[in-house]
Structure 1
Amino acid sequence: MTSIVFMGTPDFSAPILEMLVEEGYNVLAVVTQPDRPVGRKKVLTPPPVKVEALRHGLEVLQPEKLSGSLEEQRLVELQPDLIVTAAFGQLLPESVLELPKLGCINVHASLLPAYRGGAPIHQAVMDGQSHTGVTIMYMVKKLDAGDIISQVEVAIEDTDTTGILFDKLSLAGKNLLKDTLPFIIDGTNKRVPQDESLVTYARNISREQERMDWTNTSTTLWNQVRGLNPWPGAYTTFEGQNVKVWRAKRVKGKTGAKPGEIIRNDKEFVIQTGDGEALAIYEIQPAGKKKLSIDEFLRGVGSTYTLGARFE
């Protein structure tokens, strides 16, 4: 029976691990990131993959850094036939890449060579793409640059946020890996080199990418809000205070207002954008407050956000 070490960390990865167990693969161990403090109270919380692994009684390894660690030595002891990764969050050292006889494969949430890097789902939504997908690929020392084994396309709907798309792509990745693994194990899978001329990158989201620039178009800002929901959130500034915007929609129709100016604050909360159109906000989080629906906002603190005032 083929022995596998699985590496992954967030919610995206947990269903993929669950599939490996349900399909009867011999999962020797699971490698994931260390427990981290979460929330305002900084409660030490295990990653979702650890929770899933312990539910099945699997050995869990949590190196802060895999290279040169005791956990790396443990992998050498286990001698897996195959290593499967999905959003693990660390680069694998060359010694690990060369360890399994069937290689190391990765379940990556984009249609490579597009969107190599750590935030492919966020970036696809923020860029206004109509579709993305999942790629299963061999891992090499260079980030997300290995030969493509299989791919599946997934549509991005107007109603999708990054959170919704994470779930769609996790399911697609689980099913694609399930279908692909038998071919990898018997050596009949495809290997298609990536076209380097088509490479794009989706690096981890920076603080600057979270800030809303009201001189942008309504579509750009709408995609930004969707792409940063549910984490880390798009934000703007009002009277020196950061305000997060969680849900919005585009509003057609030209006005003479300046970008960032409040042009409606009764049944809707509408802000002028740089293309002469506007963005209607439906869920907002002023500094020091919880997330508020637009009704809650306008009945409370939103009443101080007067017509003609501007977001920066």
Structure 2
Amino acid sequence: MRIVFIGCVKFSYAALEMVIKETKAEVVGVITKNESKFNADFASLEPLAKKYKIPLMIAENNDQEQMYQWIKELNPDVIYCFGWSYLLNKKILEIPKLGVIGYHPTKLPKNRGRHPIIWTLVLGLKETASTFFFMDEGADSGDILSQEVLPVLETDDANTLYNKLISTALQQIKTFTHQFMDNTYKRIPQDHDQANYWRKRNKEDGLINWRMSAKTIYNLVRALTKPYVGAHCLYRNREVKVWKTQIDQHYFNQEEVFHIEPGKVLKVEGNHIYVKCGEGVLILVEHELFPLPKEGEYL
């Protein structure tokens, strides 16, 4: 089976390497980028393509006519498009007889759209899924090829959830690659009536407002931590990143702090900063606040 592989993120790199090493499929072409201004987890596939002597196309601009001509010459049976920020046009989608396979880390048809790992954590969802689907001209709307549900733990953050999804997804790719070769794969249509779409995150979505509850801020911080850009607050007229927090369950009695204004620093212990929120107290564990605020100061 001939595969053209498209991608430019950490997951793309892991998936391509696995397909090359652990399946009998032939990767006949790789499309990637040399840089990305909006993929925090960017990873060029060029090193793998050169290492394994696979034809390579660097697609820095979304020139889909050039991509179409290049892919058509390679005559793939299937295209794997994992970690690409553009929809593919109909001409490209119609090239391979088996279709173009995309990836979305949610329980489709729910939660289509942008920044799925971030919104999953921001909203405090208890589960998500690793989903591969046959791409059509819509966004994440094609028939499902493979879906595995994963629990989202209270302790998960963007990094741990990303890695859990990669681990699950690699096994799925190995399985359905063999199913394609054996012609045992299945297509499961999505129920479009159950679908919703998440929007693109903007910078303002990452701003910590201390009038939020401690739980809401905790979810925001874990959603935006590395490999993403980080949540931020304003301290002494500058933007400061917050990478990790904990909800205080023991030190402060909630009734005693109920009447304290949001944003007030209640305690500084080492590098840990206890801050009163709209509801509850949050501990800033990993952050860039320097010099450290004093007890009684406001963030």
Question: Normalised by the size of structure 1, how large is the TM-score?
Answer: 0.86
Distance across 1 between alignment mates of 2:122 and 2:37: 28
Measure the CA separation in 2 of the matches of 1:135 and 1:180.
Answer: 12
CA distance in 1, matches of 2:123, 2:58: 34
> Is the 8 Å Cα contact of residues 149 and 189 (structure 1) preserved in structure 2?
yes
The residue aligned with 2:143 is 147
Q: Is the 8 A contact 1:109 1:135 kept in 2?
A: yes
Does the CA contact (< 8 Å) of 1:218 and 1:278 recur in 2? yes
Is residue 220–residue 231 contact of structure 2 (8 Å, CA) maintained in 1? yes
C-alpha distance in 1 between matches for 2:193 and 2:59: 35
1:245-278: CA deviations, max 9, x gaps? Answer: 0010011342121111111113431111111x11
Alignment of 1:122 with 2:121, yes or no, is no
Aligned pairs (5 A) from 1:82-231: 82-230=78-226, 231=228
Compare 19-28 and 49-58 and name the one that shifted more.
49-58
SS in 2 for 1:64: coil
Aligned to 1:30: 30
Q: How many angstroms apart in 1 are the aligned matches of 2:83 and 2:67?
A: 18
Check whether the contact 1:66–1:93 (CA below 8 A) recurs between aligned residues. Answer: no
Displacement of 1:233 after TM fit? 0.3
Kept in 1, the 8 Å contact 2:25–2:177? The answer is: no
The whole-number CA distance in structure 1 between the counterparts of 2:100 and 2:5 is: 10
Q: Which piece of structure 1 moves more, 129-138 or 184-193?
A: 184-193
Q: Is the 8 A contact 2:208 2:231 kept in 1?
A: yes
CA contact (8 A) 2:35 2:60 kept: no
Aligned partner of 1:244 among 241, 246, 264 = 241
Question: Match for 1:281: what amino acid?
Answer: L
Kindly state the Cα deviation for residue 160 of structure 1 after the two structures are TM-superposed: 1.8
How many pairs were matched up?
288
2:264 paired with 1:306: no
2:278 alignment partner in structure 1: 274
| Deviation, structure 1 residue 157 | 2.1
Inter-partner Cα distance in structure 2 for 1:115 and 1:54: 36
1:263 to 263, 266, 272: 266
Counterpart of 2:10 in 1: which secondary structure? Answer: coil
SS at match of 1:12: helix
Residues 113, 140 of structure 2: 8 Å contact kept: yes
Contact 1:33 1:64 in 2 (8 A): yes
Matches within 5 A, 1:43-62: 47-62=43-58
> Whole-Å Cα distance in 2 between the matches of residues 185 and 116 of structure 1?
29
Q: Which amino acid aligns with 1:18?
A: E
Deviations 1:90-143 (A, max 9, x none): 211111001101111112222211221231111111111122121111000001
| Counterpart selection for 2:287 from 284, 289, 295 | 284
Length-normalised TM-score, structure 2: 0.90
Query: Alignment partner of 1:149: what SS?
Result: strand
RMSD across aligned C-alpha pairs, in angstroms? 2.0
CA contact (8 A) 2:133 2:145 kept: yes
Equivalent-residue separation in structure 2 for 1:34 and 1:92 (angstroms) = 19
